[in-house]
Amino acid sequence: MANQSTVTEFHLMGFSSNQDEQILYFVMFLCIYLIALVGNCLIITVIVLNHQLHTPMYFFLVNLSLTDIGYITTTIPKTMVASWTDNRLISFAGCVAQVFLLISLAGSELALLTIMAYDRYVAICHPLQYRLIMNWDACTQMAVAFWITALIYALLQTSVTFRMYFCGSNIIGQYFCDVPQLMKISCTDTKVNQILIFFFGITVNSFFVGFIFVSYGYIFSAVLRFPSVQGRYKAFSTCTPHLTVFSLFMSSALFSYMRPKALSSPTVDLISAVLYTVLPPVLNPIIYSFRNKDIQEAVWKIQKKIKSLLR
């Protein structure tokens, strides 16, 4: 080990080595990034400007949009720069920061989706106590708690990852610093790291996912007992966007990290990473815009105000 040089920077794998194709990828990722930014900023703006949407449900939706903006910003701008300049190098410190931010923001997204499931559970199963349980102090405390939890979790995962030595190849088979790819190029035994990361991941993720499933078990049980069809439809319509977003996030994450080795290849790894890091931030605001009548009505009101000001 003493005779081997320590890695001070990493070389990220690109989508193509052809210059024309790199420009095409730059334009494609720029469009994706702008769609994500505009969509999430629109959700935030609409909720902030509309006082009728100043409720716990939309408070957490604003936090989700902020998380999505940070989530996609952690990877896409670096990818765009690499495609434009053909420079795929990232410093050791930059790689550490990217891993920490990705894990913390992904953890925050899962924690937020868990809190939003709890919010729907209280609204549907305990409607008379909703304002008492989901008061603003409680919402603020839950928001602070999930951010702290996500940061601690990310700190543990990042510490476990970068306690490894990197003294050989510095080529990461991904377009961002991905923990499994870092383990592949480490020159130390990664068994302990794999066990610790697996333990942290199973413990934390199982809690959040289990909580969401239990919450929706109670929700569906309560909704099916509603006497009117209209009441059941209204209750399900408030849950549909959240369930869709949760399913999208978990399915893309599971495909990225839990798929069999037989389905693994450099191309599939790149595509699965795009699904995991890009799709949720892009589609979440679209899902909430199309599936939420309150958001749609608020957008129309803002459009009318803008048109009246321009006249």
Percentages helix, strand, coil for the chain (3-state, rounded to 5) are: 80, 5, 20
DSSP character at residue 224: T
Q: The pTM is what?
A: 0.86
Asked if the structure places residue 1 within a domain, the reply is no
Asked if the structure places residue 46 within a domain, the reply is yes
Nearest to 134, CA basis, from 109, 117, 113 = 117
Distance in angstroms (rounded) separating the CA atoms of residues 106 and 67: 8
Asked if the structure places residue 4 within a domain, the reply is no
The residue range of the domain holding 179 is 9-310
The answer for 292, left when phi > 0, alpha when psi is -120 to 50, beta otherwise, is beta
Residue 263 has pLDDT above 70, yes or no: no
For the four alpha carbons of 38, 40, 43 and 49, in that order, the dihedral sign comes to negative
pLDDT at 260: 65
Asked if the structure places residue 129 within a domain, the reply is yes
Residue 2 has pLDDT above 70, yes or no: no
| Structure tokens belonging to residue 82 | 């690499």
Asked if the structure places residue 98 within a domain, the reply is yes
pLDDT at 4: 43
**Pairing mode of beta strands 89-91, 171-172:** unpaired
pLDDT at 98: 93
Asked if the structure places residue 2 within a domain, the reply is no
Asked if the structure places residue 3 within a domain, the reply is no
Residue type, 107: G
Q: How many domains does the chain have?
A: 1
DSSP character at residue 88: -
Residue predicted with more confidence, 14 or 222: 222
Q: What is the 3-state secondary structure (H, E, C) of 215-234?
A: HHHHHHHHHCCCCCHHHHHH
| CATH number, domain with residue 245 | 1.20.1070.10
